[in-house]
């Protein structure tokens, strides 16, 4: 189980760095500084990921399986919501009530 934990933490670090880069990009309204910072952090975390990839065969695959299932569920629900909003028709209440 330690293998799954190590890979999960490494991937979590990478996702956090990406989100931080997007956040700084939006808040600072610049491109270069957040991009350089994000590239440096992701580069460092890729080194951690490469070091932990040998754990994949020792139980790390389970982390990826769980992530794949959750991502698939979120993807299906998101697309279902888009389809529902596209097909829904909203009528104003004033058409049905008299004041």
Which pLDDT tens digit goes with each residue over 15-59?
999 999 889 888 888 888 888 989 999 999 999 989 888 888 888
Under DSSP, is residue 59 helix (H, G, I), strand (E, B) or coil? coil
For the chain, give percent helix, strand, coil, nearest 5: 85, 0, 15
CA R_g for the chain:
21
Q: Is the pLDDT of residue 80 over 90?
A: yes
64 vs 45 pLDDT, higher one: 45
Q: What are the two backbone dihedrals, phi and then psi, of residue 98, each rounded to the nearest 5 degrees?
A: -110, 135
Token pair in block for residue 99:
């004041």
Under DSSP, is residue 11 helix (H, G, I), strand (E, B) or coil? helix
Q: Is the pLDDT of residue 98 over 80?
A: no
């Amino acid at each position: 189980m330690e293998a799954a934990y190590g890979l999960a933490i490494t991937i979590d670090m990478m996702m956090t760095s990406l989100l931080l880069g997007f956040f700084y990009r939006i808040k600072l309204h610049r491109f270069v500084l957040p991009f350089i910072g994000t590239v440096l952090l992701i580069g460092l975390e890729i080194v951690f990921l490469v070091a932990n990839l040998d754990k994949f065969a020792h139980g790390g695959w389970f982390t990826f399986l769980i992530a794949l299932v959750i991502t698939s569920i979120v993807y299906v629900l998101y697309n279902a919501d888009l389809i529902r909003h596209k097909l829904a028709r909203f009528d104003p209440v004033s058409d049905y009530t008299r004041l």
